[in-house]
Structure 1
Amino acid sequence: MAERALRGARLGTQSFEDERGVEMAPRQEVEYVLPDGRSFTVTMAEDAEVPAEWEDPRSGKMGRLMDGTEPEHKEVKAARTHWDMLLERRSIPELEEILTERLELLRAGEIGPAHLHRPAKSKSKARKRTA
């Protein structure tokens, strides 16, 4: 079994492929400028669509394309909350009425978790007191 063991190979990812005969895709260097004036370059494919902004790999700040134009700012729609969706279906007076009904049921012990309800007095204790 030891004769078939692969010798000299380390654990992990190590490629045994050779780069002879491999032609790299055409590339371009794109330069981005950070707000503080520093710049960094990113290597991209020549036919890639170059974005107007790119995150600096060192600082994490957003850089803008060196000779690029100002990117178009799209109008961002406000996120609809659960409350907004509820108000599309019900009015405030309807919601207050439903809340009142549900609170009455909860206080009466008809709905809700059992551990929140007051234990009912047993009939045997009530009989002993009257006797």
Structure 2
Amino acid sequence: MAERSLRGARLGAQSFEDERGVEMAPRQDVEYALPDGRTFTVTMADEAEVPAEWEDPRTGIVGRRTDGSVPEVKETKHVRTHWDMLLERRSVDELEDILTERLELLRSGEIGPPHLHRRGKRKSA
């Protein structure tokens, strides 16, 4: 039993597999240049879509590819607010009419929370 034990081995941190017969995936080295003129290289798979910008792992500054490719500008969508969606369905005049109608109903006591309605005299029994 003693000959089968792994004495002194860090089981979680060390692999005992050898790399014989293992074929590595094809790779490419992509060079990026920082604004101050320094460059760094990132290794990527051959079939990977290579981005035009990459963050330098040492400094955190974003560099651009040295082969002259320009980053594509992503189209930003206009953020539609609730008001924008409301105006797609109704005109401002229609909205003003609806508001006036609802305010009249609220003031008359037909809609809304009961604690907001003032009643004249309470009936006594």
TM-score (norm 2): 0.65
85 and 118 in structure 1: CA distance in 2 versus 1, 3 angstrom threshold: closer
1:127 aligns with 2:95: no
Report deviation, 1:85.
Answer: 1.7
Q: Aligned equivalents of 1:60 and 1:102: distance in 2?
A: 56
Tell me, in whole angstroms, the C-alpha distance in 1 between the residues paired with 2:15 and 2:102.
66
Structure 1 CA distance for aligned equivalents of residues 36 and 87 of structure 2: 46
Please tell me whether the aligned partners of residues 51 and 71 of structure 2 are also in contact (alpha carbons under 8 angstroms): no
Per the alignment, in what secondary structure is the counterpart of residue 124 of structure 2?
helix
The percentage of aligned residue pairs carrying the same residue is 68
Structure 1 gaps of 5+ residues are 1-6
Point out the structure with the larger helix share.
Answer: 1
Equivalent in the alignment of 1:39: 39
SS in 2 for 1:100: helix
Q: Which residue of 1 aligns with 2:90?
A: 90
Give the Cα–Cα distance (whole angstroms) in 2 for the partners of residues 127 and 83 of structure 1. Answer: 48
2:67 is matched with: 67
Runs (5+) with no aligned partner, structure 2: 1-6
Q: In the alignment, what sits opposite 2:116?
A: 118
Q: Distance in 1 between matches of 2:14 and 2:102?
A: 65
SS at match of 2:94: helix
Cross-structure match for 1:3: none
* Distance in 1, Cα, partners of 2:36 & 2:103: 58
TM-score under structure 1 length normalisation: 0.62
| Structure-2 residue corresponding to 1:102 | 102
Distance 1:127 1:74, change over 3 A: closer
Q: Give the alignment of 1:15-26 within 5 angstroms.
A: 17-26=17-26
Structure 2 residue identity aligned to 1:73: V
Aligned residues between the structures: 117
| Corresponding letter in the other structure for 1:118 | L
Residue identity in the other structure for 1:37: G
